[in-house]
Structure 1
Amino acid sequence: MKGLANLFIIVGLALLSWFGYSLYQQEQMHSVTMEEAESALEYLRQENGSATLEEEIQQFSPDAHAAFGLLHVPKLDRSIGIVEGTDPDALNKGVGHMSSTVFPGQGEQIILSGHRDTVFKNFAELELGDTFIVEMPYGDYMYEIRETEIVDADDTSVVGKMGEEVLVVSTCYPFSYLGNAPERFVFYAYPVLE
């Protein structure tokens, strides 16, 4: 009986160690992505100094998995690096930009995705009227959350032309679910005109 209890303790410690290491590794990756995003913003702003603003906006096209911007969430006092792509490698680095959608300032749907338990931790606290700020090499863009919805994990109906600029931010749902969540929580945020 004592041997079985010791086995459970060893297995429990091994699982805790693995979980702790996984969290540490993800935090390290996200901090690297923040540094990469900040460096990329600075570099791209210098590189595009001779182009007009409209040219910069329309010609912007980062490489896959490259960090290129920052997502600021004022209510949560958080800033997160944005990388190109939404495959598992990209999402392990930070917020992923869906490559088939446009970028801020291009007048159509922009989709950003992230994991609910890492980069989008505490997103359950966001409400209608809260804002996102996307910092791009060519400027900053503020969006106000006006709608939300919950869809099935395999529902692709949220992706498509909207006829106006809309920032769509999606993450797994329920927020406190363990394992692969069966649904997605989607925020629809619209430009705040200053």
Structure 2
Amino acid sequence: MKFNHKQRKIMALILVPLSFTFVCYITLYLLISPAIEPLMSIYSLISSDYAPTLNDENSTDLYANKLVASDIIKASQIIQPTYGDLFGKLSIDSVNIRVNLYYGDGREQLRNGVGLFGGSFLPGFNRTILIAGHSIPYFEPLGDIKIGDIIKISTHYGDFEYKITDTKITDANDSSNYDLEQKEQEKLILYTCYPFEIIGYKSQRLFVYADKISGPTILEEQ
């Protein structure tokens, strides 16, 4: 079937704009698709009706067996949390942070609060405590933290305080930012993605370092 000049002109007027629109659509999709998932995640965090409490039905409530306050506690007296358990609260009054503390730093834990890395230690064991949290909606106020501010952690076996000694912004893949093997002093390290204003993948991390100044000591029994 052959088209005359007039028919070819009409087809060109139809097909050229359609082709241009299609190419523009594909190009735009490729440009914005990397940001779609992070935006949806942030929207989910902000708009979620789910407000976790210390009675979260998906985790163990370790506060039900809260111990009498004591400076020295035997390790056998405390309930060792398992992965996913809600075992404490973390607060920093100076920047208005109050958040649930979970054992484990998986997706579900960091959705509902902040999480203690399982390869680090619980408060009271005179070792390194490494806690992660999303900047939105939990740890973004860390950007306003000051040296000397106090971080509080409350658990079923005692209340702990840590004084902030340093902050650092480093590459996300730099594992030299923490030492999980040291035994000289109990240290608390908080970290979150950085810069805060970037949506999507963030190549840096903000670390906050603090030393223990009060709270019980856990005696590890032989």
SS at match of 1:118: helix
Distance verdict in 2 for CA 1:90–1:166, change over 3 Å: same
Contact 2:151-2:163 at 8 Å conserved across structures: yes
Partner residue, 1:32: 52
**Paired letter, 1:97:** L
Report if aligned partners of 1:152, 1:184 keep a CA contact under 8 Å in 2: yes
8 Å contact from structure 1 (residues 34, 80) kept in 2: no
What is the rounded CA distance, in whole Å, between the counterparts of 2:140 and 2:75 in structure 1?
32
Shift of 1:191: 1.3
Shift of residue 93, structure 1, vs aligned partner: 1.7
Q: 1:152 to 1:180 in 2, by over 3 A?
A: same
Q: Runs of 5+ in structure 2 lacking a partner?
A: 1-20, 22-35, 216-222
Q: Which amino acid aligns with 2:139?
A: F
- Per chain length, whose mean CA-contact separation is higher, i.e. which structure has more relative contact order (CA < 8 Å, sep 6+)? 2
Considering only CA atoms, is the larger Rg found in Structure 1 or Structure 2? 2
TM score, norm. by length of structure 1:
0.77
Q: Percent identity?
A: 24
Q: Which blocks of at least 5 consecutive residues in structure 1 are unaligned?
A: 5-14
Structure 2 residue 83 is the aligned partner of structure 1 residue 64: yes
Assess if the C-alpha contact under 8 Å between 2:54 and 2:61 holds in 1: no
Q: CA deviation at 1:181?
A: 0.9
| RMSD of aligned residue pairs (Cα, Å) | 3.0
TM-score w.r.t. structure 2 length? 0.68
Q: Is residue 166 of structure 2 the alignment partner of residue 143 of structure 1?
A: no
Matched, 1:119 2:138: yes
Greater shift, 89-98 or 53-62, is seen at 53-62
1:78 and 1:176 map into 2 onto residues whose CA distance is 19
